[in-house]
Structure 1
Amino acid sequence: MAERTPSSHTGSLREQAVRWIVRLNSGTATPGDRREFEAWLAAGPEHRHEFEQLSRMWAALDGTQSLLTTEIDKAEQLWERYTANRQAAGRWSWRSVAWPAAGAAALVLMLVTAWWWMRLPEVWMYETAKGAQRQVTLADGSMVMLNTDTRLTVQFSSRTRLIRLDQGEAWFTVRHDERRPFTVQVANGTIRDIGTQFMVNKAPQAVRVNVWEGVVEVGVRAPDESGAAAHPAILREGQQVSYDEEGRMSDIRSFDREMVGSWKDGKLIFRSQPLKQVLTEVARYRPEEIRLLDPSLEEFPVSGVFHIHDLEHVIPILEDALPIRAHRVGTNLIVVERPPASSTGR
């Protein structure tokens, strides 16, 4: 009677991955085992991720944890017993024959890798230069798009998914995982995802959070407090909030989705925005500093659509439309001011 390969499609994803690691490293894996493993691996990206995570942790134990020698020897002995049972049985059940041995070996491996998992969270760092953008897919399948001059750190463990945004702006599309909350720390605030898509902008004066889909919770600490705000803001689709380093949070309000999220499409859209704000935004993508010298020009309204990779034409366009003149000072500074009265013609 044909031998049936024990099922590794029951239990949690981690338990399944543990069983495959134990089976494939037992020295007795058959071609049928390997075909079933390939099918299991191809069932979804989360399968491959879980297997690779546990494989790296198991490999890291080799030669580094002498105290685990006894436990590993026990696991090998159990696999020898499993192999003997497998050869002697013409027909058997994974639960009744394999599990006493294979399950014990898997349990040893699970405890060891879980111990390492809690102590060795994976950390990734991502950044972009001025004018550059980058989209990354995280280990859990979530996606992050980094805008210009952005730096963030990603730290994943078995229990948490933690992002720290050190500077810049990022758009998050979060893959749901009830076991591991997705949290973004920015300055003195914490953004916890309860939904799907949101954007965070860390500017010098304040942090702004915008929600496109789902729900997020925003909590802020005051400078002299160690905990989060007692009553965090709950933002839903189409809402935004901002907070500063003093722990002050704005009221929840709606926002212009097309304008705020236009950078994802390679554009900057302004609708009657103050000149000072427009120049500040353009400067985020340019190598030069842009400095507005005349305070009386700050509130001039500006409307328009500009392409992020063609921003050298923004200043000449503004000069034609507004009573301003710009000139360079060295290689890293553009000064914007009023033109002499005789040259304005206004």
Structure 2
Amino acid sequence: MPMTEEREQSPSLREEAARWLVRLRSGEATADDRRRLNNWLAEDPSHRQEFGRVSGMWTNMTGAKPLFETELRKAETRWAEYASTSEPAAGQSWWSPARMVAAGALMGLITLTTLWWVNGVTESLHYQTAKGEQRQLTLSDGSSVMMNTNTQMTVEFSSKTRAIRLDQGEAWFTVAQDGRRPFEVEVANGIIHDIGTQFIVSKSSQQVEVSVLDGIVEVALHPPVARHAILHRGQRVSYGMDGWISEVGPFDQITAGAWKDGKLIFKGHPLAQVLNELARYRTEEIRLLDNSLKDVPVTGVFNIRELENSLELLQDALPIRAQRVNANLIIVERASPSTTAPRSRTR
């Protein structure tokens, strides 16, 4: 059946263009098919315009594929169903029911792409890590995110924006260049605007810390505070939930980013801070009972994947004693100088 006869049954010109695209992409198009396509394109300028539009939409789908994985899997199934069918006999239409279904699957993808690309529809994806877990992500724009322990974030990408909301925890961002879509990370009452860079964002219950490893970022607090800071490589700034923002200053890049390589490095850090950091990677609470110990300096390197030994190492180096109370609590107190009995293990 000629393509012009089938056209009366086509719901729209776009579907007809999509059917031709399916035929060309199938790898089964014959010389006669191409001749008929050329005739169809020559019939009316609108045919050429619509075929060009549908082809362009399919090409643009490449950048949006991570947002439509489910739909793509369905379409691939349809391709497999009709790809194995036999070539129609002479005089018969190539448009079998299976192939028509495949064209419909393609049309569904094109419709989704149109909404995403033209109207800027946002797709939201939520990611999280458990305590002690780290996760490497590659986003649809080519940017990468290394999520540290106990972290939650939401990625919202559209054709116009790239936005991430960090709800808790810590993440290392390596941002891919995209002049059309700004890259922003919202954390609590502030937004980090990337200007082509690598940076680390850490959110605790009291403050947010932004550290730039490469490039430039702008940190802007929400109104009515409306304060902001520009950070360059090797600079850090902190801000609080009540609107304060620190001065921009330097930081130790090796120490700050060591967790990405599976290590925690401390250089004279107060014991209380060290215990808090270790607790981020453990399911138990670590509670320091003796407040006079909180500022005792700690220097050392701990392997994140072997943190079970961390408290034993601290007990060997400092005048402290760690004791497990139950499955959810470990207490740390000052060790008695006269204590000679072996310390109980805390694992």
Scaled by the length of structure 1, what TM-score is found? 0.68
Aligned length: 264
Q: 1:122 — aligned with what? A: 123
2:24 is matched with which residue: 29, 44, 48? 29
Q: By how many angstroms is 1:117 displaced?
A: 5.4
Whole-Å separation in 2 of the counterparts to 1:59 and 1:152:
26
SS in 2 for 1:329: strand
Q: 1:49 — aligned with what? A: 63
Q: By how many angstroms is 1:221 displaced?
A: 2.8
Whole-Å separation in 2 of the counterparts to 1:51 and 1:330:
48
Q: Does 1:265 align with 2:261?
A: yes
Q: 2:8 — aligned with what? A: none
Whole-Å separation in 1 of the counterparts to 2:66 and 2:328:
46
Q: By how many angstroms is 1:127 displaced?
A: 0.7
Whole-Å separation in 1 of the counterparts to 2:60 and 2:248:
36
Q: Does 1:256 align with 2:270?
A: no
Q: Does 1:277 align with 2:273?
A: yes
Check 1:201–1:22 CA distance in 2 against 1; reply closer, same or farther (3 A cut).
Answer: farther
Q: 2:320 — aligned with what? A: 324
- Alpha carbons 1:23, 1:29 under 8 Å: kept: no
For residues 167-209 of structure 1, the C-alpha deviation after alignment (integer angstroms, 9 at most, x for no partner) is: 1000001011111100000011100101221110001121000
Whole-Å separation in 2 of the counterparts to 1:328 and 1:315:
11
Please list, as runs of the form range in 1=range in 2, the aligned pairs for 1:173-184 lying within 5 A after superposition: 173-184=174-185
SS in 1 for 2:326: coil
Q: Percent identity?
A: 52
Check 1:136–1:54 CA distance in 2 against 1; reply closer, same or farther (3 A cut).
Answer: closer
SS in 2 for 1:296: helix
Q: By how many angstroms is 1:123 displaced?
A: 1.0
Whole-Å separation in 2 of the counterparts to 1:25 and 1:298:
72
- Alpha carbons 1:57, 1:113 under 8 Å: kept: no
Please list, as runs of the form range in 1=range in 2, the aligned pairs for 1:86-125 lying within 5 A after superposition: 113-114=114-115, 118=119, 120-125=121-126
For residues 309-333 of structure 1, the C-alpha deviation after alignment (integer angstroms, 9 at most, x for no partner) is: 1111111111111111110111110
Q: By how many angstroms is 1:51 displaced?
A: 6.3
Q: Does 1:339 align with 2:335?
A: yes
Scaled by the length of structure 2, what TM-score is found? 0.68
- Alpha carbons 1:207, 1:244 under 8 Å: kept: yes
Q: 1:219 — aligned with what? A: 220
2:232 partner amino acid: R
Q: By how many angstroms is 1:26 displaced?
A: 4.5
- Alpha carbons 1:291, 1:336 under 8 Å: kept: yes
Whole-Å separation in 2 of the counterparts to 1:52 and 1:340:
59
Whole-Å separation in 1 of the counterparts to 2:326 and 2:307:
19
Whole-Å separation in 1 of the counterparts to 2:65 and 2:124:
18
- Alpha carbons 1:117, 1:157 under 8 Å: kept: no
1:157 partner amino acid: S
Q: By how many angstroms is 1:57 displaced?
A: 9.0
Q: 1:194 — aligned with what? A: 195
For residues 224-266 of structure 1, the C-alpha deviation after alignment (integer angstroms, 9 at most, x for no partner) is: x3xx72x410001010001010110011011101101000000
SS in 2 for 1:145: strand
CA RMSD of aligned residues (A): 3.3
Check 1:174–1:328 CA distance in 2 against 1; reply closer, same or farther (3 A cut).
Answer: same
Whole-Å separation in 2 of the counterparts to 1:210 and 1:290:
27
Whole-Å separation in 2 of the counterparts to 1:112 and 1:321:
60
Q: By how many angstroms is 1:135 displaced?
A: 0.4
Check 1:29–1:218 CA distance in 2 against 1; reply closer, same or farther (3 A cut).
Answer: same
Whole-Å separation in 2 of the counterparts to 1:213 and 1:182:
15
- Alpha carbons 2:117, 2:158 under 8 Å: kept: no
Unaligned 5+ residue runs, structure 1?
Answer: 1-18, 35-40, 61-108
Whole-Å separation in 2 of the counterparts to 1:268 and 1:162:
29
Q: Does 1:151 align with 2:152?
A: yes
Q: 1:289 — aligned with what? A: 285
Whole-Å separation in 1 of the counterparts to 2:270 and 2:278:
13
Answer with 260-269 or 320-329: which moved more: 320-329
- Alpha carbons 1:54, 1:113 under 8 Å: kept: no
Q: 2:134 — aligned with what? A: 133
Check 1:115–1:283 CA distance in 2 against 1; reply closer, same or farther (3 A cut).
Answer: closer
Whole-Å separation in 2 of the counterparts to 1:115 and 1:340:
66
